[in-house]
A and B are shown apart, each in its own frame.
Chain A
Amino acid sequence: MPVLDQDTLRARREFNYRPAFQRSNLLWHRPWTVLTGGDESDELEPEEPFVRAYHWFGKPESSFPTFPAGALVGTLRDALRQMLQPGAFYQTVVEPSSPDSIDRILESSRTILELEDDWDEQGASAYSESTWQRMCGFLRRQAALAQQIAGRDLPLPDILPGPKGSVDLHWKSPELELLVNIPAEASQAATFYGDDYGVQTVKGSLNPEMPAPGLVLWLLSQS
């Protein structure tokens, strides 16, 4: 794996920090927020008439096509809107290109269900099959979504026994850290927090029964 020097890393973070689209276009559908240290004028510079795909997807390659900003925003918005219509996602779902790896980590995470009450000798709760199943569904949906909107595999998280019978999904890399908590109570929202160790932060809550395009795009853009 190539090692980037500090200047390049800083430039890359700054680059990724600047969203390619207006905030309102990015987040129109979401129950979550992006917190950054910048102001609105940073988001799309008037003198930058084009938005390159890698501005959002974070892979600077010369082969990436260039689109007029409005066209790309419209295309992405239409695709997301279509996916988010009730039932639409399930009809158009595309299996991730590496379902084996998702299946593998989900299967190995079943050991969480073997933990009994007080497994940490400090009173931690056991885990229910239904919580674990909701976590599996959530992860599969996000992996499928990553394939559908970006043609990429979702990075694999660590699956951890969380507090109070919840399950944690934890992504950690040199570029980002993201923690999603699937609660034991089916009626409760999942919560998440992530950052790039710098100025870009995402946090909020989401419905674990639904795909979370914003979160997937953020994860892909940083990895």
Chain B
Amino acid sequence: MWPKEIIPDESAVFMRIHKVYLNRRSDVPPNAFRDHNGAMSVDWDKYSTPSQTRARARNPADNAVIGMRVEAIRLIDGLSVEHDPTEEGTLDRQRRPLAANRAHSNVLGEKQTEQRVKLSRIWQWAIRLTDPVGW
């Protein structure tokens, strides 16, 4: 069983962005920053690369990957970042099985309009959809 660790501020986390979210400016708008099953799932860069994060999607080719500094997320009012490794066979809140992922972490806290706008200002591309650039 993987221990739950403290994620330092200097770390980064990766998040998949489905192609439907990308706007006409190839930007990631505020609506992409939202909870799924009670939290916004991200992968800690200590245990994941952008490619691994992308590969965990149902259809990896339909997903870009962005990176965010943990400190920048924590500076947004009401948001925190917590490590939440998932073991093989763990169930999510809807009782669906999750794949094993030691990097899995959550951005916790209400994603109101203010938090979503501010999240949409702190990301950087890790993998673009059409032009992977690397982290």
Contacts and interface: CB of A to CB of B under 8 A. Distances in A.
Contact of B113 (A119, A123, A180): A180
B62 A181 contact: no
Contacts of A195: 117
B35 A191 contact: no
Interface stretch (A48-56, A83-91, A145-153, A162-170): A162-170
B111 interface: yes
Contacts of B90: none
B31 A160 contact: yes
B29 A158 contact: yes
B31 A121 contact: no
A191 B36 contact: no
B109 interface: no
Interface string A183-221: 000000001111100000001000000000000000000
A193 B57 contact: no
Interface of B is mostly: mixed
Given A163-B31, A163-B35, A115 B114 contact: no
A177 B119 CA distance: 13
B3 to A, nearest CB: 26
Interface size class of B (residues with CB under 8 A): 20 to 34
Given A119-B20, A121-B18, A121-B59, A193 B35 contact: no
A195 B113 CA distance: 12
B34 A163 contact: yes
Contacts of B116: 179, 193
A81 to B, nearest CB: 28
B11 interface: no
Interface in B1-35: 16, 18, 20-21, 23, 29-31, 34-35
Nearest to B116: A179
Of the candidates A164, A170, A177, A180, the one having the most CB atoms from chain B within 10 angstroms of its own CB is A170
A122 B18 contact: yes
22 contacts: A119-B20, A120-B20, A120-B21, A121-B18, A121-B58, A121-B62, A122-B16, A122-B18, A122-B41, A123-B36, A124-B34, A158-B23, A161-B31, A163-B111, A170-B29, A170-B31, A179-B30, A181-B113, A193-B112, A193-B113, A193-B116, A195-B117
Interface of B: 16, 18, 20-21, 23, 29-31, 34-37, 41, 57-59, 62, 94, 111-114, 116-117
Interface of A: 115, 119-124, 158, 160-164, 168, 170, 177, 179-181, 191-195, 203
